[in-house]
Amino acid sequence: MSSGKFRRGTLVTVATTAPSHQLDAPPRSQIAEEIRLRLADAWGQMGAAWGVAPAIARVHAYLMTRMEPLTEREVREALGLSHRAASLALAEAEEWGLIERVAEPRRVGSRGPAGTAYRAVGDHWEWFGRVISERKLREGDPVVAVLERTLKEANDAIALTPDDQELVELRNWLSAFLVFVRLFDRAVGLVPQLEPRTLERGLLLLSRVPDDTVLRLFGLLDAVDDDDVLALVESLSRLSPTNARRALALFGGALRTLRR
């Protein structure tokens, strides 16, 4: 666009340019962008296996690898999504706890209030815990409810036909399977309750323990009474950090003595 100004009787044309986000944005690496998009596509394909729609997983991966807030339009254009598809994916990703809304970063030359932008939750352990929690609500809890209802139906039927051996066998299988699902569901449900740093440290420590050591510890459970194990765990959990360190030092010394 141009505008005219008079200077000493002469019309001088002065070029003016409207503010542009493209001009304000930092230069982008085309190679890095191609890698991001390939990862987003692969992440989307894997998303179905995790119970997450491909579009949501693609948006999550792209925002993670961009490492900065992006508007809906920027996400839409980068991933080749329609306005509706991008809006739905962003809303769903936010509901899963994968991304969060922030104020759009102010651009040079922009006017008016800042719009809405989205960025990935930067702490991987935090969004992982949120995904586990959401999947438990959407999948784990309903499965437990279905099995409980089915088991009740089987028990009610047995009360009317106690001689039906096939029905009794089905009831026994349902009961055992429900115990298994409840154990798994409880273990999964503990993950979101842990602080991200605590979960990270626990898994890092576990990664430093050799597989043979872990397997030996599980093997020892067969030789120890359940009540003794539960009492020990309960006692340890109630110690103060100072006393816990002292107990571990004493316990370590006792173990070294026993191994001689």
| pLDDT tens digit at each of 260 positions of the chain | 444 444 444 444 444 443 444 434 554 788 889 999 999 999 998 887 777 889 999 999 999 999 999 999 999 999 999 999 999 999 999 988 889 999 887 554 556 556 789 999 988 888 888 888 887 888 888 999 999 999 999 999 999 999 999 999 999 999 999 999 999 889 888 888 888 888 899 889 999 999 999 898 888 888 889 888 889 889 888 989 898 888 888 888 887 787 76
Helix 196-207 crosses helix 124-135 at what angle (to 10 degrees)?
100
Contact 158, 167 (CB under 8 A): yes
- String of DSSP letters for 54-119: HHHHHHHHHHHHHTS-B-HHHHHHHHT--HHHHHHHHHHHHHHTSEEEEEPPPPTT--SS--EEEE
State how far Cα 60 lies from the chain centre: 11
Encoding tokens for residue 225? 């009474």
d(CA 88, CA 109): 30
**Distance, C-alpha 104 to centroid of its chain:** 24
According to the model, what pLDDT value does residue 103 have? 85
pLDDT for the residue numbered 91: 94
Nearest to 145 by CA among 157, 136, 132, 133: 136
- Residue pair 167/161 in contact (Cβ under 8 Å)? The answer is yes
Say which residue the tokens 């997983």 belong to.
Answer: 57
Nearest in space to 120 (alpha carbons), one of 156, 145, 96: 96
Cβ-proximal residues to 164 (8 Å cutoff; 6+ apart), any chain: 157, 158
Phi/psi region, residue 9 (left: phi>0; alpha: psi -120 to 50; beta: rest), is left
Closest CA to 56 of 15, 94, 110, 100: 94
* Contact status, residue 39 vs residue 23, Cβ threshold 8 Å: no
- C-alpha–C-alpha distance, residues 215 and 23, integer Å: 59
Q: How many CA atoms lie within 13 A of 176 on its CB side?
A: 6
The answer to whether residues 143 and 55 touch, using CB atoms and an 8 Å cutoff, is: no
Predicted TM-score (pTM) of the model is 0.64
Beta strands per DSSP E along 106-257: 116-120
Between the CA of residue 157 and those of 145, 160, 165, 215, 216, what are the distances in Å? 18, 5, 12, 42, 44
